[in-house]
Amino acid sequence: MKQVIIVGGVAGGATAAAQLRRINPDINITIYEKGRDISFGNCGLPYNIGGEVSDRDKLVAATPATMAERDIVVKTHHEVRSVDSEGRKLLVKDLEEDREFEAAYDYLILSPGGAPRTIPALLDVPQAFVLHNLEDLDDIKAHIAEHDVNKVVVIGAGYIGLELIENFVRRGMDVTFIHRSEEVYRPLEDDLGNFFIEEMERQGVDVRLNTEIVEVDGNVATLSNGEQVDAPMIVAGIGILPRTEFLGGSGVALNDAGFICTDETGCTSADCVYALGDAIETFYQHVDRKTTVALAWGAHRMAYVIANQIGGDDDVKFEGLLGTNIIRFFDYDIATLGLQQNEVREYDHFIVDHKQKNKAGYMDGSVPIRVRIYVSTEDGRILRAAVVGTEGVDKRIDLLAAHIRLGGTAEDLVNIEVAYSPPYSSPKSVLNMLGYKTIEKMKKFK
């Protein structure tokens, strides 16, 4: 029987295993996971801190025991140390038994994800945490309980940092936010995100910008501007680095930033070695360009593709992604898709911006929603979009993603027939209006 080995047992790895088993009952599947847990909802971790996920155990989707019921072998606390793609074997370390052994594969699936980054000043600080997995969540909650902590310093202005701020506030804790610039949430245009700081202050967050922690002594953190803040707990959400060091010398090609290069089948440069998730370099759906996207959708889609490539229908291919994303920050919803701001500048484009109420303007409770699209002057393609509001953002970003996927241009937005009655939209929705504005602007380029 063919032997499939999977490295990493959370979003990408566990999903690939489950899909493969569903497609093909006659294949051996073994997952090596270096951590304690497998198959948990990373995305839900912040919401257990804030209480919206009241039952922490509901974050666990599968365990080694439930995987065993599906004839999938799971080895937790097992770290893959190196890969020999010529010899089709791995060196694995059993971290509990402190012993190494070799494991042979016919197919290898890599889903090692990313390692959370930190800053030098937080190394060896006992009250400094990251939130990347269930163990981190348990450690944070244990620290709060054991030391009766009601104050937390959050660093990082990406989506995890923002979710941490919101959820610690919801938990009733005093939050200090430290950020080394004034630019909060880089995926969004500064002028669209000018509410972030105001909203933090409205929520009672102590905001310290243009500074960073340089030293922590006991429960006091010293900042680069000389100020000191009380820091009985510090949580960093400052991004990830691909966990691919173990692939050195493996024959699996990495890009300059250490991400695993993959094609539309999920295959790497090495025969029978596939990869997915946060650690891969993949490609955009709407423009011919490589990208990396550390979000769950791509991992889940690629899991299905790879499972089919190995055990089912090899016509199933990955068709790229848009990096469609959304976050909630207190009352606000923020979503973007497509090229990053620095990338879109390389394309000839114009911007169409429109703000209107999310439902019929005469309805009590209607609120503004703002959508910005970046339109290719060459062919009217939507290269990038950003949506901000307090209601209805998810609907607009998903519609835009579907529209782009099906080849719709910015001018075609006028033809999206929206479901209208006053509590939901307008007969000319915000997306239709963007289409009408585009048609006017596009005349210059025809």
Of residues 249-278, which lie at the interface with ligand FAD (CB under 6 A)? Answer: 277-278
- Judged by CB, which is closer to ligand FAD: 26, or 55? 55
Which of 113, 111, 114 lies closest to 240 in space, CA to CA? 114
For tokens 């409770």, the residue is 365
Among 299, 302, 339, 430, binds ligand FAD (CB under 6 A): 299
Query: Segment near ligand FAD (CB under 6 A), from 126-134, 329-337, 344-352, 436-444?
Result: 126-134
Two structure tokens written together for 240: 């990830």
Task: Using DSSP, state whether 304 is helix, strand or coil.
Answer: helix
- The distance of closest approach from Cβ of residue 302 to ligand FAD in the complex, given in angstroms and rounded to an integer, is 9
Query: Taking CB under 6 A as the criterion, which residues in 67-86 touch ligand FAD?
Result: 79-80
Q: Which of 20, 55, 25, 24 is nearest to 40 (CA)?
A: 55
Nearest CA to 110 among 83, 86, 87, 128? 83
Residue 43 annotated among the catalytic residues of the structure: yes
CA distances from 75 to 9, 109, 288, 318 (A): 9, 15, 39, 29
Of 39-47, 60-68, 121-129, 377-385, the window that binds ligand FAD (rule: CB under 6 A) is 39-47
**Which residue in the set 143, 180, 243, 359 belongs to the binding site for ligand FAD (CB under 6 A)?**
243
Does 303 contact ligand FAD by CB under 6 A?
no
Which of 360, 429, 443 minimizes the C-alpha distance to 400? 429
- Helices and strands: H and E segment counts in the chain: 10, 26
Among 12, 50, 392, 435, binds ligand FAD (CB under 6 A): 12
Place of tokens 């503004």: 368
Picking from 67, 53, 56, the residue whose alpha carbon sits closest to that of residue 15 is: 67
DSSP string, 7-22: E--SHHHHHHHHHHHH
Min dist CB 114 to ligand FAD, Å, is: 6
Q: Nearest distance from residue 282's CB to ligand FAD, in Å?
A: 11
Instruction: Return the number of the residue (94 or 106) whose C-beta is nearest ligand FAD.
Output: 94
The closest alpha carbon to 221, from 210, 205, 233, 209, belongs to 233
Cβ-based nearer residue to ligand FAD, 266 or 277: 277
Nearest to 340 by CA among 295, 292, 281, 300: 292
Site residue total, ligand FAD (CB under 6 A): 33
**x/- string (CB under 6 A) for ligand FAD, residues 158-197?**
--x-------------------------------------
Q: Which residue is nearest to ligand FAD (CB)?
A: 277
Least Å distance, CB 295 to ligand FAD, is 3
Sequence-separated (6 or more) residues with CB below 8 Å from residue 420: 426, 427, 429
Count, residues in the chain = 446
156 interacts with ligand FAD by CB under 6 A: no
Is the CB of 105 or the CB of 246 nearer to ligand FAD? 246
Distance from C-alpha of 238 to C-alpha of 117, rounded to nearest angstrom: 6
Which residues on adjacent β-strands are paired with residue 72? 29
**Integer Cα distance of 94 and 437 in angstroms:** 61
Among 6, 29, 32, 48, binds ligand FAD (CB under 6 A): 32
Whose Cβ is closer to ligand FAD: residue 152's or residue 160's?
160
Q: Give yes or no for residue 10 binding ligand FAD (CB under 6 A).
A: yes
In the set 43, 261, 267, 272, the catalytic residue is 43
Q: Which residue has the tokens 């990830």?
A: 240
Q: Using CB under 6 A as the criterion, what x/- string covers residues 40-59 for binding ligand FAD? A: --xx-xx-------------
Residues belonging to the active site: 43
**What residues make contact with ligand FAD under the rule CB under 6 A?**
7-8, 10-13, 32-35, 42-43, 45-46, 79-80, 111-113, 131-133, 160, 243, 246, 277-279, 294-297, 299
